[in-house]
Amino acid sequence: MPCTKASRATSSTDSPRRGGSLAEKQLEGRDGLAEGMFGVDPKGDPEKARVVGQFTQALLAGVMVQWMVDPETAPSAQDLTDGLRAIIGDDLA
């Protein structure tokens, strides 16, 4: 089985020394996304920062994978906005 960048990143959690550090950085990144993109203070509202950071990180990772596989059909910012509006029931008018 070929080794991909994603598989190398996830296999690093097998090593307590590397995995712990990677997991800590991921948590810091989520807090940074929540605060930097949405103004959610991780110290003031840690649970909201956690879920907003997780959602944002998942969205970004998914878009990056789609862009790496086929940049021509990867979603644009407008596509993502329209998709989220459709999900939450907001009119696309």
User: Could you report the per-residue pLDDT of 45-71, keeping only the tens digit for each?
Assistant: 999 999 999 999 999 999 999 999 999
| CB atoms inside a 10 Å sphere around CB 52 | 21
> Phi/psi of residue 90, each to 5°?
-80, 140
Say how far apart CA 93 and CA 76 lie, in whole Å: 18
Among 79, 38, 67, 75, residue whose Cα is nearest residue 55: 38
Would the pTM count as exceeding 0.75?
no
Contacts 24+ apart (CB under 8 A), 60-67: 60/33
Domain ranges within the chain, ordered by starting residue: 16-88
65: its two tokens: 């994978």
Mean pLDDT of 11-26: 67
Q: How confident is the model at residue 41 (pLDDT cuts 50, 70, 90)?
A: very high
